[in-house]
Amino acid sequence: MSEHTIIIIIIIIVMANEISAMWKQKAAQMIPIAIASTGVIPKSLSQSLRTLNLHSNTYIQLQISVILGTCSIVRNFINYKLQVRPPSLILLITASQDR
């Protein structure tokens, strides 16, 4: 196992212990569901969905949500870039207003 994987496992165990203590339960089971910003899903997602008693096609809705969120972020970034004026244009505008 890589060092990154070991760190993630430790974090999951700590979170499970905190949740079981917070809700006064004997045990808690953490089921991570990770989806890449491009909508790529891990092979283990179907098993996680079965564990949660969710429909096997739930991953499609998860992918759609993630991709729409990514598109929103990109759209906001592009709009922000288009709204920012270059410094030379700002100088021209302020110089013409002084006359």
Q: What is the mean pLDDT of residues 43-59?
A: 90
Q: What is the mean pLDDT of residues 85-99?
A: 52
pLDDT tens, residue by residue, 58-87: 999 999 999 999 999 998 888 876 666 555
**What pLDDT sits at residue 81?**
65
| Element (DSSP H or E) covering residue 19 | helix 3-22
| Residue 5 resides in a domain | no
Burial of 58 (0-12, 13-18, 19+ CB in 10 A): middle
Sequence-separated (6 or more) residues with CB below 8 Å from residue 43:
none
- Given a cut of 60, is residue 7 above it in pLDDT? yes
**What pLDDT sits at residue 63?**
92
| Residue 35 resides in a domain | yes
Total domain count, the chain = 1
Task: Please give the residue range of the domain that contains residue 54.
Answer: 31-98
| Residue 71 resides in a domain | yes
**What pLDDT sits at residue 67?**
92
**What pLDDT sits at residue 30?**
85
| Residue 67 resides in a domain | yes
C-alpha to C-alpha distance for 37 and 35, rounded to whole angstroms:
7
| Residue 14 resides in a domain | no
| Residue 66 resides in a domain | yes
| Residue 17 resides in a domain | no
Q: What is the mean pLDDT of residues 44-61?
A: 90
- Given a cut of 70, is residue 23 above it in pLDDT? yes
| Residue 86 resides in a domain | yes
| Element (DSSP H or E) covering residue 3 | helix 3-22
Sequence-separated (6 or more) residues with CB below 8 Å from residue 50:
56
